[in-house]
Chain A
Amino acid sequence: MIWQGKLLHIHVAPAASYEMEELTEAQLIAGRGIIGDRYYLGTGTYSPKPDVREVTLIEVEVLEAIARGEPRIPGLRAKLEPADHRRNLTTRGVPLGHLVGKRFRVGETILRGARMNFPCKYIEQLLGIPGLYEGLLNRSGLNCAIEVGGTIRPGDPILPIDE
């Protein structure tokens, strides 16, 4: 599959339930996470549950679909800001759903898709947006492992490695 994408935003939160904060540059540590993020620090909602969650990604195309009102879900607010969705990296042009088990580059780092993210009701309560859980079903992004760490910045290219 031939594609070429771009990193739009980087967000981290220092602990569970804290607002996400946008970074202009982030350090990814292989096997750990993003410095300053709750899943690097072990303070995330799901930190006690063993799983790969070193860095999480979501497609901006999903946010755009929600903004267009697709699908129609009663009460679902039309706008979900990149700081709201609680994934670390917002991407454009990256087929995240096809990258489970595949390696790909984000700037100088290499990530490996571990599993599709599954939305949680928690986020509806946290943001006060009813219907958001359904709105994110099957498109809430990808949980990844960091194979090669490094520095990433918004604007970095995202490129496939494994076919």
Chain B
Amino acid sequence: MASPRIIMKLTVVAARKEPGDVLVIDVKHPRKSLLPPFEPGSHVDVHLPDGKVRQYSLCGDPTDLSHYTIAVKREQAGRGGSAWIHETVAVGSTLPVSAPRNHFPLEVGQGPTMLLAGGIGITPIVAMARVMERLGKPYELHYFTRSRALTPLLSVTEQALDASNVGLHFDDEPETRQDLESLLSKRSADAQLYYCGPPGFMAAVGRAAAHWPDGTVHFEAFQPPERDGVPPEPFTIELRDGTVVPVAADTSALAALRTAGVLLMASCENGVCGTCECGMLEGRPIHQDAVLSKEARAHRFIPCVSRATGVLRLDL
């Protein structure tokens, strides 16, 4: 179970529109000069008035804890959280924000680091690049968007980072384009890859880096991968004590477990935040989350979205 985190009612001290329908928001603590520390890759939960919770990566400088910066893209087809933030949040607003958590940690090793961002996926990536820059470690940042005019955080990226480490790739500027296959075809010794972006980008990078060894590829998705359209089928969960929990076709495993009295924390309920992650002992899972690594899929399970065939034994 993921740890609970303190929720702070933070004050919005800056809110500016950026290209690509993105609102960049700075928040400060109303009483304390410093916020809890964070590492690059970390996100916070923003608690909306209707009880919903949304995760946003911290894209500011991890050494400046006077404020947090998040960048919220308005998702027209989303579930309403980003639209509410765009329409309601202004300087002076109070926003309940959790202490940061990191599901996308940057391990600064000896080898070069490849940082790839698609669109709003720049948010955790730019925080990572800032750290690499400060440490003087070798890295390359490749930022892919449709068009220069629709690129959020472009000015921040250009100001905070050494341009020689940054590749900007715009779909509508052919001379800037970069083919993912050729970018990732050769892996230099000890290289690590980090990437974040929308589902199509995630799938494309995943394919292009399929030959990279286990443990060298790290990612964070904002949305679960596109589902294959197969209608969900009922299955059964068995708990450690032998309790059998049936999961109907129209219910999530998380909902079924809660009905059975299993206390599980959850947050996004969309397969991206990892709060409800639990251990898996045996069975044939159908993983539909965007959290677990290839290795973790052998023994971990995300019950808010993932399902199974037959009986799935969970470590609960």
A: residues with CB less than 8 A from B are: 14-19, 21, 122, 125-128
Known: A19-B7, A127-B6, A128-B36. 12 other contacts (CB 8 A): A16-B4, A17-B6, A17-B7, A18-B6, A18-B7, A18-B8, A18-B9, A18-B96, A19-B6, A19-B9, A21-B9, A125-B4
CA distance A127 to B6 in the complex (A): 7
The 10 A-B pairs of least Cβ separation, nearest first, read: A125-B3, A18-B7, A17-B7, A19-B8, A126-B4, A17-B4, A126-B6, A125-B4, A19-B6, A122-B4
Residues of A within 8 A of B6 (CB): 17-19, 126-127
Interface 0/1 of B118-159, CB less than 8 Å to A = 000000000000000000000000000000000000000000
Chain A residues contacting B36 (CB-CB under 8 Å) are: 128
Per the bound structure, the CA–CA distance linking A128 and B35 in Å amounts to 14
Report the minimal beta-carbon distance from B103 to chain A, rounded to whole angstroms.
16
Q: Is the CB of B16 closer than 8 A to any CB of chain A?
A: no
Q: What separation, in Å, do the CA atoms of A100 and B9 have in the docked complex?
A: 35
Interface presence of B5 (CB below 8 A): yes
Q: How far is the CA of A18 from the CA of B96 in the complex (A)?
A: 8
A10 vs B4: C-alpha distance in the bound complex, in angstroms?
23
Residues of A with C-beta under 8 A to B3? 125-126
CB distance from B261 to the nearest CB of A (A): 12
* Chain B residues whose C-beta falls within 8 Å of the C-beta of A128 in the assembled complex: 36, 99
* A21: nearest chain-B partner, CB-CB: B9
Q: With the chains together, A128 CA to B6 CA distance in Å?
A: 9
18 contacts across the A-B interface (CB closer than 8 A)? A15-B7, A16-B4, A17-B5, A17-B7, A17-B98, A18-B6, A18-B7, A18-B8, A18-B9, A18-B96, A19-B6, A21-B9, A122-B4, A125-B4, A126-B6, A127-B6, A128-B36, A128-B99
Which residue of A14, A21, A126 contacts B5 across the interface (Cβ within 8 Å)?
A: A126
Interface centre among A19, A21, A128 (most CB of B within 10 A): A19
In Å, the complex CA distance between A17 and B9 comes to 11
Interface residues of B in 30-47 (CB under 8 A from A): 36
Chain A residues with Cβ below 8 Å from B5 are 17, 125-126
Residues of B within 8 A of A19 (CB): 6-9
A-side contacts of B9, CB under 8 Å: 14, 18-19, 21
A5 CB → nearest B CB, Å = 27
Q: Report how far A94 CA is from B6 CA in the complex, Å.
A: 29
| A19 to B31 alpha-carbon distance, docked (Å) | 11
Rounded to whole Å, the gap between the CB of B149 and the closest CB of chain A is: 40
A143 to chain B, nearest CB (A): 20
Q: Quick one: CB contact mask for B68-104 with A, threshold 8 Å, 1 for yes? A: 0000000000000000000000000000101100000
- Give min CB distance, A15 to chain B, whole Å: 8
| A126 and B98 alpha carbons, distance in the complex (Å) | 10
Bits for B1-18, please: 1 = Cβ < 8 Å to A, else 0.
001111111000000000
Please report the C-alpha to C-alpha distance between residue A127 and residue B3 in the assembled complex, in whole angstroms.
10
| Beta-carbon nearest neighbor of B3 in chain A | A125
Most buried by B among A17, A18, A127: A17
Chain A residue nearest in CB terms to B96 = A18
Among B4, B8, B9, B36: residue with most chain A CB under 10 A = B4
Chain A residues positioned under 8 Å from B7 (CB to CB): 15, 17-19
Give the distance in Å from the alpha carbon of A16 to the alpha carbon of B7 in the complex.
Answer: 9
What's the Cα separation between A14 and B4 when bound, in Å? 16
In the assembled complex, which residues on chain A have CB atoms less than 8 Å from the CB atom of B99? 128
Residues of B within 8 A of A14 (CB): 9
Q: How far is the CA of A14 from the CA of B47 in the complex (A)?
A: 13
Give the complex CA separation of A15 and B49 in angstroms.
Answer: 12
In the complex, which residue of chain A has the Cβ closest to the Cβ of B99?
A: A128
Distance in angstroms from B154 CB to nearest chain A CB is 35
Bound: A79/B6 CA distance, A: 17
Q: Which B-chain residue is minimally distant from A45 (CB atoms)?
A: B4
Alpha-carbon separation in the docked complex, A14 to B31 (Å): 17
Residues of B within 8 A of A15 (CB): 7
Contacting residues, chain A, for B8 (C-beta < 8 A)? 18-19
What is the chain B residue whose CB lies nearest that of A123?
B4
Chain A: which residue is nearest B30 at the CB level?
A: A21
